[in-house]
Amino acid sequence: MIAFPQSDLRWAIHSAASLPSFSAVSSPQQRRRPLCTNGSAGGSGSRTTPKPSVCTADELHYVPLPNNEWKLALWRYLPSPQGSRRNHPLLLLSGVGTNAIGYDLAPGSSFARYMSGQGFDTWILEVRGAGLSAKNSQVELKESLQGELEGISEELLGSTGAGLRDAAQVSAITSQLTEFGRALGNIVDGSQQPITQLTGLHNRFSITLEDFWKQLQLIGKYNWDFDHYLEEDMPTAMDYIRNQSRPEDGKLLAIGHSMGGILLYAMLSQDGYRGKCSELASVITLGSSLDYTTSRSSLKMLIPFVDPAKAVNLPVVPVGALLAAIYPLASYPPYLLSWLNPQISAQNMMHPELFERLVLKNFCTIPAKLLSQLSTAFEKGGLRNRSGTFFYKDHLHKSNVPLLALAGDKDLICPPEAVYETVKLIPENLATYKVFGEPRGPHYAHYDLVGGRMAYYQVYPRIIEFLSRHDTS
């Protein structure tokens, strides 16, 4: 039996007690009929099938990208009849290489369910390559949210001639992945003193990747970057949500965590540059910035992550498999990688079992092109477009959208000074900046703003207050 700190035990009891209120988001009839909708934004030609058990939303929608094989997954949480009446749907955007699970971790620890309980028609977008998004003509209802595309059918693997059958090609990519694991192990070995015992990380990494070989036929197609999300995935998803929810003014509310917030900043910047009336009624960012140069962000680790990927000509970085490989070294004796856990959550801010589920189920494979573009946030001028000609910071001052920027006092990935470096560019009458965490605790690391045990009491009410204030039609 696992012994939990008393504070975590209280949180577990609270979570169990909260189940009825979190779950009462739709009628019993709706709860008995989980939906998977696959069709056009207008709903014509859509079909309904049972959704996979891993999807805990009320509905799962698939949205095809124009001129692209990818179908985006949208998890929908219907507004509770007991909640306040809202004028706008709410879009939730996740961080880099993560899926919808971070917003819906467990019945008593679900940000998405909380928001629908407050009356918001809540949608989580899984961008291409994340979670249940799919890349085939017939949507594959995958039971895993790992993003590693586990369980791809034998048909897709090559029985119809679509898979990789060239043994030499498979061998070459396998060698590249092994070399990547070795290079990554060397980076961790060299950067963490005095951790010298970790010489076998690349072996553990290779073993964990046993199922990763199954997706070799897709690896070469993981060739997108941040701008693809910004210019294709987000507009497509927003159009679809508008057509489903029908807000009177055609606008959405949006919350972005980590890269999700960066996407929202970039959209506001583009709208300002183009003189376009924004399609967002208000925006909240959680641990996000366009410029990390003034902070000691641990995201600088992304830079050496990109280099070994380039060195072996590997188009992806399998972060989900990597975290699964090193998690035991971070969470069990002799705790060789104990530095990993605070990157995600501050001490005693998450129940251990929820933390383990987050680490093992929330992360996906990331294209090297995406990491390469995101790494420009550590260079002078901050994040820029793929051609290097547009700096997203430069036009934020033209935004006319109310924005709430939240930071965690112990966020090592996006420290408060990084958050402020971006939010200070928004006109003062529109921007609100708030750091959560107290000198004597509780403290907030990168994920705690979304799912830490105190977020329910401290962060969520602030979010509701801000959204309600700007949810006017």
Q: Return the pLDDT at 228.
A: 96
Instruction: Report the Cα–Cα distance between both ends of the chain, in Å, rounded.
Output: 52
Alpha helices in 337-454 (DSSP H): 341-344, 352-361, 368-374, 416-423, 448-451
Give the residue carrying structure tokens 């090592």: 412
Q: Both tokens of residue 20? A: 């009825």
Domain ranges of the chain: 57-133+223-295+381-468
Residue type, 363: F
Q: Return the pLDDT at 43.
A: 44
d(CA 404, CA 462): 9
Q: What is the mean pLDDT of each run of 10 residues along the chain (473 residues)?
A: 36 34 32 48 46 91 92 96 94 94 93 97 96 66 38 34 42 53 51 40 46 50 90 97 96 98 98 94 97 86 56 58 58 52 90 88 84 90 96 96 98 96 96 96 95 96 97 82
Closest CA to 11 of 108, 86, 101: 108
Residue type, 447: Y
Q: Which pTM value belongs to this model?
A: 0.77
> DSSP assignment, residue 278?
P
Closest CA to 260 of 390, 142, 95: 95
Contacts within 8 Å (CB) and 24+ apart, 154-158:
156/217, 157/214, 157/217, 158/217
Q: Return the pLDDT at 51.
A: 82
d(CA 176, CA 182): 10
d(CA 94, CA 361): 14
Q: Return the pLDDT at 193.
A: 38
Given CATH 1.10.287.1120, say whether it is the number of domain 57-133+223-295+381-468.
Answer: no
